[in-house]
């Protein structure tokens, strides 16, 4: 069979099995089994056993369940309400006032979470009722929360960066460092948009709270101390070369438990719920990674990545045209798959092409994370949209519509990363010195 026919058969098998309701991890393994059985002389069972064991026993992956558990613990604390109390007084002077608490709150929580959905849920459970009570419009409130929540994937520690680092075999610590400046840049773009929106809709922004003296602001800021200390402990350990990503994740779990205990929210019930919540999420991710590893091996045996890379190279695309094509591809894929599935499903095929085009894999990792962020707010399978639909009861189409400006800002961010690659590469280069 020709490469085109083989590709068509495997893609058809993938969507057929997915459409029948089979879990994504098992679907990937099933398609890999079909490929090995039909187009390879190696026994499929032997290849599956060796590959899945190798993918599941990677030491690098041990950071993943720990960061997931840390986010689950913090989700069950008073962290969101404390952060709102600490941030709100300082936001009053900005154009848009408390709307910025969504962006700043998500930026801060992203630095201890690693999950986009957890960031949206944690910040939203406090900011949405508070902003609604004070009279802020639902559209800009929910839209800014959906957009800012995507920072949970980009600002380290990030679950999807760990997944990409394992798939692409690049340093996770370097990826974490590389995500800092782009994450802050996108946060500034979001806040800038909110300021412009507020300037154009002055009548829709409630007046500031009275009596905001400097002393009161400083007193309220004490509520930010726990989360700031946790960020310093986790990220400072990685950036300072004191701890590996796994060791920093373990420290983060201990810190999250300490915060929960000090706030009085650490009970046997919350401990058990956080543990099982983290376990369920990690098992889902691990199954997807194992299936993707088997599929990558199968693709290598039948030569599809190499043939695809050769075909794309024959098109004579420039680096910009290749990245634009990949952006459209991932946005389209994000309409049907979650971010982790997108990364693990495509890396085996995409990376040879990217390397052949001379694109730095650290830079490409950040680019992919930003594009996957965009997929978090594209219907029908945008995870952030689902989370907000459950929290607000609004129609998912309406939520996607009010989030559209923030989607456009992330497209702009991709353009900035291409025009100024130093936004990604400068900080890792400094840390290597």
pLDDT, tens digit, for every residue of 15-54? Answer: 788 777 777 778 878 888 888 888 777 787 878 888 878 7
Contact 286, 60 (CB under 8 A): no
Band (228; pLDDT cuts 50, 70, 90):
confident
Tokens of 289: 């990674």
- Asked if pLDDT for residue 3 goes beyond 70, the answer is no
Band (347; pLDDT cuts 50, 70, 90):
confident
Structural domain count, the chain: 1
What does the alpha-carbon distance between residue 36 and residue 30 come to, in Å, rounded to a whole number? 10
- Asked if pLDDT for residue 411 goes beyond 90, the answer is yes
More confident residue, 145 or 312: 145
More confident residue, 391 or 258: 258
- Asked if pLDDT for residue 338 goes beyond 70, the answer is no
Q: What is the pLDDT of residues 362-375, one digit of tens each?
A: 999 999 999 988 88
More confident residue, 13 or 60: 13
What does the alpha-carbon distance between residue 296 and residue 300 come to, in Å, rounded to a whole number? 6
What does the alpha-carbon distance between residue 409 and residue 386 come to, in Å, rounded to a whole number? 21
Percentage of residues in the chain with pLDDT exceeding 90?
14
More confident residue, 402 or 58: 402
pLDDT of residue 185: 94
What does the alpha-carbon distance between residue 307 and residue 341 come to, in Å, rounded to a whole number? 23
- Asked if pLDDT for residue 417 goes beyond 80, the answer is yes
| Mean pLDDT, all residues of the chain | 81
User: What mean pLDDT is predicted for residues 263-270?
Assistant: 85
- Asked if pLDDT for residue 146 goes beyond 80, the answer is yes
Which range of residues forms the domain containing residue 313?
A: 3-432
**CB neighbour burial string for 396-414, b if at least 16 within 10 angstroms, e if fewer:** eebbbebbebbbebbeebb
More confident residue, 364 or 128: 364
């Amino acid at each position: 069979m020709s490469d085109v026919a083989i590709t068509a058969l495997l893609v058809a098998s993938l969507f057929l099995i997915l459409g029948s309701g089979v879990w994504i991890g098992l679907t990937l393994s099933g398609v890999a089994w079909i490929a090995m059985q039909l187009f390879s002389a190696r026994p499929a069972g032997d290849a599956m056993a060796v590959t899945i064991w190798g993918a599941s026993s990677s030491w690098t992956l041990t950071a993943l369940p720990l960061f997931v558990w840390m986010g689950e613990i913090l989700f069950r604390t008073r962290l969101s309400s404390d952060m709102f109390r600490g941030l709100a007084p300082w936001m009053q002077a900005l154009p848009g006032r408390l709307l910025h608490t969504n962006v700043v709150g998500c930026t801060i929580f992203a630095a201890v979470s690693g999950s986009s959905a957890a960031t949206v849920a944690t910040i939203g459970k406090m900011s949405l009722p508070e902003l609604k009570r004070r009279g802020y419009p639902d559209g800009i409130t929910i839209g800014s929360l959906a957009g800012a929540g995507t920072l949970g994937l980009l600002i380290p520690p990030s679950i999807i960066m760990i997944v990409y680092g394992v798939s692409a075999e690049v340093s996770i610590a370097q990826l974490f460092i590389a995500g800092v400046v782009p994450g802050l840049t996108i946060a500034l773009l979001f806040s800038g948009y909110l300021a412009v929106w507020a300037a154009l809709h002055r009548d829709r922004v409630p007046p500031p709270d009275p009596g905001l003296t400097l002393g009161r602001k400083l007193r309220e800021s004490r509520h930010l101390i726990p989360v700031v200390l946790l960020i310093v402990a986790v990220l400072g350990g990685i950036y300072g070369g004191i701890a590996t990503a796994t060791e920093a994740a373990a420290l983060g779990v201990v810190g999250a438990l300490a915060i929960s205990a000090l706030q009085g929210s650490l009970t046997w019930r919350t401990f058990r719920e956080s543990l099982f919540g983290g376990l369920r999420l990690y098992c889902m991710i691990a199954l997807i990674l194992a299936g993707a590893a088997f599929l990558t091996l199968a693709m290598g045996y039948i030569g599809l990545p190499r043939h695809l890379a050769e075909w794309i190279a024959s098109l004579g695309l420039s680096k910009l045209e290749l990245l634009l094509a990949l952006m459209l591809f991932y946005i389209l894929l994000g309409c049907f798959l979650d971010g982790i599935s997108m990364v693990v499903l495509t890396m085996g095929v995409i990376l040879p092409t990217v390397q052949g085009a001379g694109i730095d894999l650290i830079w490409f990792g950040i680019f992919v994370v930003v594009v996957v962020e965009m997929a978090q707010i594209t219907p029908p399978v945008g995870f952030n949209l689902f989370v907000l639909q459950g929290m607000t009861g609004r129609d998912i189409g309406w939520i996607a519509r009010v989030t559209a400006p923030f989607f456009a800002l992330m497209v702009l961010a991709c353009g900035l990363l291409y025009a100024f690659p130093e936004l990604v590469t400068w900080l890792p280069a400094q840390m290597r010195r």
